[in-house]
Structure 1
Amino acid sequence: MARSNVLDPDASPLDHYGCELRRYRETAGLTLKELGARASYTGSLIGQVETAKKVPTRQFSQRMDDVLKTDGALERLVGLVLRSQLPAWFQEAALREARAAEIYVFQAQLVHGLLQTEEYARAVLGAVDQDGLEGKVAARLDRQRVLAKDVPPVLWVVLGEAVLYQEIGGRAVMRRQLAHLLNFGGNPWVNLQVLPFVAGAHAGLQGSFTLYRFESDPALVSFEGYGMQHVTPNPVEVRGLGLRYAHLQAAALSLQDSAELIQRVMEERYGDHTRAARSPVA
């Protein structure tokens, strides 16, 4: 009898991953149900990964490697799978993040992807199109592993104050997102400043941008928006945006004052005031 759901391993990284998972499982002599029982996943979910209908996470891959004794083969492969879920124009950006020694970000509208919570990322990525959403979210969160490296890049982020007030995903999601930002307060590799409304006209009015510096390669600058990205190593543009970034840092609140503003917005705008609102009048 012909086997159903035969995949072409060359069709995509996801198909290749599914073929490899199936091959390892069958070599181990396990059914989907048996593997699921040993790995604490449902056989149905494993079957969906094997047939490229669901994107595996890094945690899933680590568990499959442990149970199937594949010496980390699936975890090594899953990075390629997750990058393939990113928009084609952004895959190179993820590689730049992984190679960079220093990353300088100005974001006027959103929390930067490296600092997003899962809920916030899901709301952002699903705002217009929810097709393949879980894979996109997994890919975005996997990018954040760069911050957990033994020697991570220096990440400096300037957020427009409007980012704190743009309610993405609802009040509870925003509260947890702002709390997540505050958790970086003791991390010397991650520096977060808020550009306050009172700064008025500033050097970032033309839009968000990112400056990458590398150990040996030339620096790059990038501009993103509406499914497009402009990247250039042009020294004139790099120097110009480097100057703009210096002005943004100077106009922004200090690290401590930025944290205090984030804390205040989190409590006053997104705090749980329902109990107080329902309290009876004495």
Structure 2
Amino acid sequence: MLRRETLEPRSSMWDFLASYLHFLRTKHGYSCAYVGEVAGAARQTVSHWESGYRKPDEKQAELLDDLYGTGNLLATILYWAQAGHEANWYQEQVALEAIAAEIRIYESGLVPGIFQTENYARTLFTLGGSTDVERDVRERMARKSVLSRTDPPRIWALLDDNVVDRVVGSGGVMREQLEYLIELSYMPNVVINVIPRTVGYHSGLRGSFKILTVGREILAYTEAAAGGRLMRDPNEAERMRVRHDLLGADALSRQASRDHLRQLQESMR
């Protein structure tokens, strides 16, 4: 869980909102329980808002504006925070990934982090100019612990052909990676489908994304060159879920995807 001490309100709209909510509550002398009662949230949820771990929705922001007499300031801050792209959203979605009940993935360029082998990840960090490759590899491998949870999430991953037929590092690195994908595809809670190149243009080529179900909340995370965006709005998340469904309709079946991966593996030198 994020701690208030790590918030950076000068560089993040979300962190500014979290810090300001804490300031307003303590200024008025309200308890988390009281604020939660007014805003329709649990006491712990209010604490999570102020730590940056969770975000209020639009209706809750309006109720908080009424409570604190801030006009529509909090609702406006929330709007601009939702519209932005911030690097720290990547870390937040990784934390949510670890506790998610369901993970849907569409990847257009690289093997998803939780599916990467150590050698594949090391190659990416080395070529990407990491200042501490081994630390980054350890952190990437730690994300895979979600696969061995006692209650592992349901995972449905759609991989564009670019992900699996582009050699990363060497033929040996890719053969190992493809073998691992085939192995993962036999796990009862994991579905891996490949979208073949023969499909041509499709909506997924606009960018990779992930949909996480955490408790009763469904969130979507989209990747961009300048930083990702974590979408908590239910309507936005639903649109991404529908896009994932439609992309899945163009993908190869589970077994056909395994066969395709095996053929690619055998062709790599």
TM-score of the two chains, using structure 1 as the length reference: 0.63
The one-letter code matched in structure 1 to 2:166 is Q
Aligned to 2:227: 228
| Alpha-carbon shift at residue 88 of structure 1 (Å) | 4.3
Measure how far apart 1:89 and its partner are. 4.1
**Separation (CA, whole Å) in 1 of partners of 2:192 and 2:106:** 10
Residue 150 of structure 1 aligns to a residue in which SS? coil
- Residue of structure 2 in register with 1:91 after alignment: 91
Q: What is residue 131 of structure 2 aligned with on the other side?
A: 131
Cα deviation, residue 235, structure 1: 1.9
**Partner Cα separation in structure 1 for residue 99 and residue 185 of structure 2:** 24
| Contiguous gaps of at least 5 residues in structure 1 | 1-11, 13-86, 272-282
TM-score, length-scaled by structure 2: 0.66
Aligned-residue RMSD, C-alpha = 1.7
State the alpha-carbon separation in 1 of the partners of residues 194 and 159 from structure 2.
5
Q: Helix, strand or coil for the counterpart of 1:201?
A: coil
Cα deviation, residue 165, structure 1: 1.6
Q: CA deviation at 1:98?
A: 1.1
* Structure 1 SS opposite 2:155: strand
Q: Distance in 2 between matches of 1:104 and 1:181?
A: 16
> How many Å separate the matches in 2 of 1:211 and 1:89?
14
- Please state if 1:259 is matched with 2:258: yes
Q: Does the residue aligned with 2:223 lie in a helix, a strand or coil?
A: strand
Give the Cα separation in 2 of the matches to 1:116 and 1:103.
16
What are the Cα deviations for residues 92-111 of structure 1, in whole angstroms up to 9, with x where unaligned? 12211111100000001100
Equivalent residue number for residue 200 of structure 2: 200
Give the distance between the partners of 1:134 and 1:228, measured in 2 at CA: 23
In structure 1, the partner of 2:141 is 141
1:1-282 matches, within 5 Å, as 88-216=88-216, 218-226=217-225, 228-268=227-267, 270-271=268-269
CA distance in 2, matches of 1:174, 1:118: 11
SS in 2 for 1:173: helix
Match of 2:30 in 1: none
Name the CA distance, whole Å, in 2 between partners of 1:163 and 1:240: 24
Aligned residues: 185
**Which structure has the higher relative contact order (CA within 8 Å, separation 6+)?**
2
- 1:166 Cα deviation from its structure 2 partner: 1.3
In structure 2, the gaps of 5 or more residues are 1-5, 7-86
CA deviation profile, 1:174-214 (whole Å, cap 9, x unmatched): 00000111111320111100000111222312111001112
- What are the Cα deviations for residues 223-251 of structure 1, in whole angstroms up to 9, with x where unaligned? 12335110111122111111110001110
Residue type at the aligned position of 1:144: K
SS at 2:181 equivalent: helix
**Letter of the aligned partner of 1:174 in structure 2?**
M
